[in-house]
Amino acid sequence: MTASLPARPFAAPDPTQAAPLRVLICDEMNPGHLEHAGFEIDYEGNLPREETLRRLPDYDALITRSRTKVDRELLEAAGERLKVIGRGGVGVDNIDLEACSRRGILVLNAPESNNVSAAELAITHLMAAARGLTRSDRLTRAGEWDRKFLGVELKDKTLGIVGLGRIGSIVADRAQGLRLNVVAFDPYVPENKFERLGVTRAAGLDDLLAQVDFLTVHTPLTEETQGMIGARELALLRPGAIVVNAARGGIVEEGALVEALKSGHLFGAGVDVFVDEPPTPEHVFLGAPNLGITAHLGANTREAQERVGAEIVGRVLAALHGDVSRGAVNAPALDAKTLELLGGYLDLGEKLGRILAQLLPGASDLEVTFRGEFPADPAPVVTAALVGYLSGSTDERPNMINARALAKERGLNLAVREEGDSPDYQTEVIVKVVSGTGGEKRRTRTVGGTVFGRSPRLTRLRDFRVELAPEGFILIASNQDRPGAVAKLSNLLGTWGVNIAGMALGRAEKGGQALFTLTLDDGLTPEQLQAIRDLDVIESAFLVRV
C-alpha cells in the first residue's frame, strides 16, 4: 500500500489568489461551457506535442483524451505549477500514474460519462444478433434477397449478465423494459442491490450460463476475468444462445466464440472489443458467421462525448478548489508524519481487506475495530481496508480518495469501532464483513492483524489466533484437532512440488475445532484445492492471494 502512495502530497492552489487558475485542454473533445469565474480555460484541440511541452509551464491543470502521452518528458517540462491532470473518458493508459503521483499531481477521469451509451450498444448488439441484421445486410448488398432467415424474439427470454456494476445495472434496466427476465452473476455485489434492481442472483457462473438464452458481459478485465468465458463456458449455454461482449477484449475468448458460432451452438454474437485493436485483416472475427462487429464504439455518442467533456472540466476545476472527491485515479500522499507513523497499518488494512474480498465477496457491511493506542489517528486505515476489499471488483481502481464513494455506490455499509486494549498485542486492527439479511443466508468473516515495527502480521482468522506474515498465497484450512491433519496435507502438497514457506496453528480448545494456515510459494489449481477439501481430515479449505 505505502509503495503506491506518492512521494509528494497533492496541494490545491489557493482559490483566493488574484490571478486566475489556468487550464489547458490539448486534445479534441466537447468541453462544454468554458467561462468559469476564477479560471482561464484554453481549448486547443489536437495541440502538437512540442507546443504542449512549451506552453504547459504556464498552466495549473491539463486535460487530455487518449492522444496525448503524459509521460516523464511532459511532466518534467510542466515544472512545479501543474497540479491536476484530467483524462476525458475511462482509461488512463496514456498517463504515467506513478510519475504523476511522485510529483504530487492528481489524476482524474470521468468513467461514468459513457455508461448509458455503452449499455445501449450492448442492447443494440443483442437485438441485431437476434434478428440477423449483420447477415441480412451482407447478403442484401451482395444481391441476395433472403427472406427465409428466422430470427428470435427477446420477449419472455432470459438474459444473463456477468458484472452488475454501473453499466451492467443499466443493461438490466433496459432489458426489463424489453420484457426480458434478467439473471446476473457478480460475487462482489451485495444482495440488496439485486433486490433493488429486480434481478435474480445466480449462485455461480455455471449456474447462470445453464439458464439463460442470451449472455452479455460487463466486468473489468482482470486476472480473474481474462478468458472467463471460454469453450467450456460457451458449451454450458443453451443451444441457440446469443453472446455479447461490449466490455473488454479477452473476457470472452475470441477463438472459442468463433468455434461456437461455426458449430451452430450459438445463434449469433456481437462484439465491440478486441484483444488487440485495431484487428489485423486475418483476425478470426472478420470471417465468423452471424457475428456483428463494431470498432469499440461504446462511448461514441454525441451525448456521451458532451458529458465526458463537461464532466472532466468540472472535476478538474473542483480539484483546483480542493474538492478531490470525484474521479480521482491516483491517491495523493498523506502528510509525511502520518505516513511515517501509519505506513505499516495502511499496508495491513489493505491486506486484511484483500483477504476478506476472497473469503466473502459481495458483503453488505464492513466493520473495522481498533484496539489499543495507535501512533496516530487510525482513520486512514479504514479507507485502506476498503481499498483492499474493493480491489479488482469495480470498474474504477479504488484508492485512498475514492474508496469510500465506491463502497457507498456498491451498497457496502461501513462501521468503525474503538475498543480498549488488545489482550495479546499493543495494537490490533480487526475487520469483519457480513453478507445476507439474516438466518441461514447471513454469513460473516473476520480477520485481524497488527504491526511489528513496520511489518504487518496476521493475528486472527475468525475466532482463532494465528500469527504469520500476510504475503503471497495463504492456504486456510479447518479441521478437528486430531493428530495427522497437517502431515496429510503437507504430504499432498509435497507430491505436487508446492513448498510451504510458513505455518501457523490455532484451536478453540483441545480436541475441538482447529484452524491452520500455510503460506505457499506457489498457487494451487482448482483441482488441487478440491483434492485438499476431499481429505478426510479437512473440513474446509480456502486459498487467498495477498
Instruction: Give the closest residue to 435 by CA, choosing from 418, 459, 411.
Output: 411
Instruction: State whether residue 382 is helix, strand or coil.
Output: helix
Selected catalytic residue, list 248, 315, 371, 404: 248
Phi and psi for 521 in degrees, rounded to 5? -75, -25
200 beta partners: 183
Selected catalytic residue, list 22, 81, 131, 296: 296
248 is annotated as an active-site residue: yes
The span from the CA of 400 to the CA of 319, in Å, is: 15
Strand arrangement, sheet containing 464-468: 413-419, 365-372, 427-435, 443-452, 455-461, 464-468
The widest CA-to-CA distance across the chain, in whole angstroms, is 83
C-alpha cell of 430? 480487526
Buried b vs exposed e over 86-110: b needs ≥16 C-beta within 10 Å? bbbbbebeebbbebbbbbbbbbbbb
Residue 151, C-beta contacts closer than 8 angstroms, at least 6 positions apart:
130, 131, 132
232 is annotated as an active-site residue: no
Which position has the grid cell 515495527? 453
- Determine how many CB atoms are found less than 10 A away from the CB of residue 240: 12
Instruction: State whether residue 534 is helix, strand or coil.
Output: coil
| 3-state per-residue secondary structure call for 311-375 | HHHHHHHHHHCCCCCCCECCCCCCCHHHHHHHHHHHHHHHHHHHHHHHHCCCCCEEEEEEEECCC
Selected catalytic residue, list 35, 50, 277, 440: 277
Q: What is the dihedral of CA 455, 461, 465, 468, to 10 degrees?
A: -30
277 is annotated as an active-site residue: yes
What pairing do the DSSP bridges indicate for beta strands 158-162 and 181-185? parallel
Strand arrangement, sheet containing 84-87: 39-43, 21-25, 61-64, 84-87, 106-109
Verify cis geometry, omega within 30 degrees of 0, for the bond prior to 6.
no
Helices (H), 31-82: 49-55, 72-78
Q: Are 260 and 129 in contact (CB under 8 A)?
A: no
Instruction: Give Cα separations from 74 to 51, 56, 102, 281, 475 (angstroms).
Output: 11, 8, 14, 35, 45
Q: Which residues are catalytic?
A: 248, 277, 296
